[in-house]
Amino acid sequence: MEKNTAEENKFLTDFMLGRIKLEKGSKVTILGLAPYAPLLIDALTQVQIEFPDELTSEELIKYRAYMEEFRKNINV
């Protein structure tokens, strides 16, 4: 049996105390996936995330053009 890391325990503690809200899905499933939470968080935080409302007007124009082309390419 694997030992729980501090990160896993923090996720479980925060989830059980309601600091992390579940919008959809099963709590049982989430608890089963809890040991993988640190890996997911590490993967997601390796890339700097930029939201459209944080972009300059020039960056927003480029972003919209990119998304339009992307959607066209995948037929959405």
Domain extents in the chain: 6-44, 48-76
Q: In this predicted structure, what is the pLDDT of residue 62?
A: 94
C-alpha closest to that of 21 among 10, 8, 30, 33 = 30
Task: Place 15 in a pLDDT band, splitting at 50, 70 and 90.
Answer: confident
Q: Which amino acid is at 35?
A: P
At residue 17, does pLDDT exceed 50?
A: yes
Task: Place 7 in a pLDDT band, splitting at 50, 70 and 90.
Answer: low
- Report, as an integer, the average pLDDT of 27-39: 83
